[in-house]
Chain A
């Protein structure tokens, strides 16, 4: 375990250095690449902190899907454009910003270094009720049982973001297909990857959802992998982006939250409370919710990456 402290120090330094690079980079493209690397370093840090579920989510969402959105954006914003000199802050603004940001950092550092004994924890309570749920992974238990309202609202936030992005479409393109991702060139390598990777990726995604009940994994991480496979197929032009106004697309987007809400409201009638599961049925209900959520998450993430409808971009 002698490598441990050195590894921790290296990861912490690397994450800080990458953050500085992202903030100070002169070109947006370099900043975006730095941000993706920053996400991957952070997911290693999460592993070191013993939070494997968070590490998976950080790698899939914080680095992967966000990276896809940012790279697509930076390409459209004309990649290698230098910073406009006129828009930069003056020396005094910079000095004040450094001072105030440093003050916030110092305050947080003081908080971190001040000892709390005993440290507050809910781990024993979370562990105590797990056998009743029939779920081995405490985080899945928290996300889908103890604090399932959080998870439900998180899905609603995803839907709101999607509605926001769709509403940015131009009038003529309303409800049409989004522009396909990627450069638009037919590329042999991309076509091969688009044919070979999705079968493997779909299996891996479903596996991560399935083991999420007892091991690190879950609906969101699995859904992100499925979404990535869909995006890959779209980039290779093996499939067309969907017509977002179609009822099937709307249903695919909404089915997860609808199932979640339906089971939630059924909780009023059976065990007597919103989102509470009847005794003995917690595990099957959690699985039903996870499957529906995974499907919706994959579709919503893919559509968020695709962006608003565009006209004249498809053949």
Chain B
């Protein structure tokens, strides 16, 4: 199997795993991480497409690579904003699980 196909399969796995985590993960911070994994998988897929387009003495098509660099920066900006929102929410509610009504079974979380 060529390296491009291998990393292509890896990117497909990353997108799937990230999607699953985004849906199922109850912790908001880990939800953000899972969504970032979807993003990483997408970027990697784009990198595989770039690798296939190798021509003119370049290791890969530079246009998708440049777009991935832009994408990484935008993903970081969004992550930083999401984390800041989460922290503010945590300050407001006293806890980060964004439940408007604190459930009674909270004894696990209060000790830390």
- CB–CB A23/B48 < 8 A: no
Given A42-B40, A105-B16, A22-B30 contact (CB < 8 Å): yes
Report whether B47 and A51 are in contact in the complex, using a CB–CB cutoff of 8 Å: yes
User: In the complex, what distance in Å separates the CA atom of A89 from the CA atom of B22?
Assistant: 12
Cα A28 to Cα B44 in complex, Å, equals 25
Minimum CB–CB distance from B16 to chain A (whole Å) comes to: 3
Contact with A along B19-58 (1 / 0, CB 8 A): 1110111110110011011001101110111111111111
Contact partner, B26, options A58, A83, A101, Cβ 8 Å: A83
A25 touches B (CB below 8 Å): yes
Given A57, A80, A119, A128, which contacts B53 in the complex, CB threshold below 8 Å?
A119
Given A73-B87, A77-B96, A164-B81, A48–B7 Cβ distance below 8 Å? Answer: yes
Q: Are B9 and A121 in contact (CB under 8 A)?
A: no
Asked whether A247 is an interface residue with its Cβ less than 8 Å from the other chain, the reply is: no
Question: Per-residue CB proximity of A87-126 to B under 8 Å, as 1/0?
Answer: 1110001100110111011101100110010011111101
With a cutoff of 8 Å between Cβ atoms, the chain A residues found around residue B75 in the complex are 62
For the residues of A in contact with B, the DSSP-based class is helix
Given contacts A76-B90, A78-B109, A122-B53, 20 further A-B contacts (CB under 8 A): A12-B7, A15-B14, A20-B17, A45-B44, A62-B76, A82-B108, A87-B26, A89-B23, A97-B20, A100-B19, A101-B16, A104-B15, A108-B12, A122-B61, A122-B62, A127-B57, A305-B80, A307-B84, A307-B87, A308-B84
Q: Given A16-B17, A66-B36, A108-B11: A49 and B88 within 8 A (CB)?
A: no
Which residue numbers of A lie inside 8 Å of B, CB to CB?
4-5, 8-9, 11-12, 15-16, 19-20, 22-25, 28, 31-32, 35, 38-39, 42, 45-46, 48-51, 53-54, 57-58, 61-62, 65-66, 69-70, 73-74, 76-89, 93-94, 97-98, 100-102, 104-106, 108-109, 112-113, 116, 119-124, 126-128, 138-139, 141-143, 146-147, 150-151, 154, 157-158, 160-161, 164-165, 168, 218, 220, 304-305, 307-308
By a CB distance below 8 angstroms, the chain A residues around B58 are 50, 123, 126-127, 138
A138 to chain B: closest residue by CB:
B62
B-side contacts of A151, CB under 8 Å: 70
Interface size on B, residues (CB 8 A): 85
Residues of B near A74 (CB, < 8 A) are 29
Contact B56 A89 (CB under 8 A): no
Of the A-B pairs whose beta carbons lie under 8 Å apart in the complex, a sample of 25, sorted by A's number, is A8-B3, A16-B14, A19-B41, A31-B27, A38-B40, A45-B10, A50-B54, A50-B59, A50-B60, A76-B87, A81-B112, A84-B108, A94-B24, A97-B19, A98-B20, A101-B17, A108-B12, A112-B5, A120-B61, A138-B58, A142-B63, A143-B66, A154-B73, A161-B80, A161-B81
